[in-house]
Amino acid sequence: MSDVVSTLEPSIFTAGYLIKKIKNFPENIVITWHKQLFNVFKNKFISSCKSILHTDLFLENISFDYKGLNIGLLYVNMGAPLFAVITEELKVLGVKNILCLGNCGILVKDINTEIIVPTKAMIDEGTSYHYLSENNKQDFIILNNALYISDFFKLNGIPFTEGAVWTTDTPYRETKTSVDYAVSKGCICVDMECSAAQAVSSFLDINLYQIFLNGDSLSENKWKRNKLGKINKDESEVYLSCILALLKSISER
């Protein structure tokens, strides 16, 4: 089926049929897969936050004000297809910037930073190719704003590691052969949304910024949990400050 798909052809059914614009909907959105981080945001801005949408796509969602900036925060489930549907609907709602805060699995040794900035993504999921033109279908997709994020972190003295990510649909089928192949292609980590997120966002003309937290490790063909689902309160506060400052900078570009 993918051989006959033409992304230049208009869709018969679009998000615009179901989603209607909402007055004062945030143009700047943070999407996270971290319940802990979502709760840190929510508790910090509890006096001003409110639910922005009532939909089954999001586990939870709020908006709040930060230094004059209206920010939407979505806590969502995993997977590239879901991300595509969410982003299509956010486009209808007028969103311009999306900052993703996700998890990744480390594939190589000697990565000691908590923050990973993906620079390009190896496509191993089924969503991306529905958003790429025939002459743009390749193994990797470049992440448009990786350099901006890296420069911001360097300027603010925030430790991070940058490199390529392998995006897969099947986290429980990360075998020795597939991990070794990804590493041979230059990937330092693995996730489930990154390549599709960039393809969808580029197609919809949304500015996308992606950051990973060091969740677990598959290096040396052994699984290690690292901090997957175990971020403490102090760390969450650091990430919160970092993300808010970055989003404020993005909104002023």
Q: All domains of the chain, ordered by start, with CATH?
A: 25-251 (3.40.50.1580)
Q: What does the pLDDT read at residue 6?
A: 54
d(CA 14, CA 10): 9
With bands split at pLDDT 50, 70 and 90, how would you rate the model's confidence at 4? Answer: very low
Q: How confident is the model at residue 2 (pLDDT cuts 50, 70, 90)?
A: very low
Alpha-carbon distances, residue 51 vs 42, 46, 54, 122, 247 (angstroms): 11, 11, 8, 35, 20
Q: Are 165 and 189 in contact (CB under 8 A)?
A: yes
Entry pTM: 0.91
DSSP state of 26: -
34 SS3 class: coil
pLDDT at site 50: 55
Question: Residue 74: how many CB atoms within 10 A of its CB?
Answer: 24
What average pLDDT does range 195-215 have in this prediction? 95
Residue ranges with strand state E in the chain: 28-32, 58-66, 69-76, 97-106, 115-124, 140-142, 161-168, 187-191, 207-217
Q: Poorest-confidence range of 1-10, 20-29, 239-248?
A: 1-10
Instruction: Output the average pLDDT for the chain.
Output: 87
Percent of the chain exceeding pLDDT 70 equals 87
The average pLDDT across 206-233 equals 83
Please give the C-alpha separations between residue 47 and each of 5, 41, 89, in angstroms, as whole numbers: 48, 11, 27
Q: Cα separation of 97 and 116, whole Å?
A: 20
Dihedral sign for Cα atoms in the order 118, 119, 124, 126: positive
